[in-house]
Structure 1
Amino acid sequence: MTKIKVSHNKNYTIMSNYHLRDKKLSLKAKGLMSYMLSLPDNWDYSVSGLSIVCNCGRDAIRTGLNELEKQGYLKRVQQKENGKFDKTIYILHEEKQK
């Protein structure tokens, strides 16, 4: 049996395994969520920003976000200011929400 040994130094992320073991999520959605969980709490989430740091197109980010939202791991709240759409707040859940 092959074993993997990981040498943990610094600058690593501790996260739940729920999304990683969810068979309903694609590898793209699992990777995107894992990457999002590794970002600082004050990081300014946007499709464009995620596209840049993940080195993939905005459509790929959108489909990954939509999948996470559909499966209950992500909630997006659209804020309004002066009657106009403003920032979108991303709320990640480590466990699937119903």
Structure 2
Amino acid sequence: MSQVFRVERTKNFTVMSNHHFKNKKLSLKAKGLLSLMLSLPDDWNYNMKGLASLSRDGIDSVRSAIKELEHHGYVERHRIRYCDGCYGDTEYIVREVPSGKGNE
């Protein structure tokens, strides 16, 4: 006997590419984190502590998922360098489809 799952849609939903869901090289943790990141507003501050606060996973778990997403080209990270040469915040570029830089 087969099981049938039905999804009730509401007004609060996110539309995103299915690419990462079908990528067998990504762990479920990485797929979930990327889905969460894609659902956040454009101006949201992506930092490890902030991402960890959105689930019960800790910062180490978020960090390892980010590294996996970076490895596969879904996330790109840059340290911002100020005029005086000091490093500042980290800028994240989150992609629905990986860049050619990852090891896809």
Structure (1 or 2) with the larger CA radius of gyration: 2
Deviation for aligned residue 1:54: 2.0
Aligned partner of 1:92 in structure 2 is 94
Partner of 1:16: 17
| TM superposition shift of 1:55 | 2.2
Bigger proportion of residues as helix: 1
Q: Distance in 1 between matches of 2:49 and 2:58?
A: 9
Which AA in structure 1 matches 2:60?
A: D
**TM-score for the superposition, normalised by structure 1:** 0.93
Q: Which moved more, 1:33-42 or 1:83-92?
A: 83-92
C-alpha distance after superposition, 1:28-67 (max 9, x if no partner) = 1000000001111110110111111122111111100000
Structure 1 gaps of 5+ residues are none
CA distance in 1, matches of 2:3, 2:63: 36
Q: Which runs of 5+ in 2 are unaligned?
A: none
RMSD of the alignment, in Å? 1.1
Q: How many residues align?
A: 98
Offset, 1:78: 1.0
Task: Compute the TM-score of the two structures, normalised by the length of structure 2.
Answer: 0.88
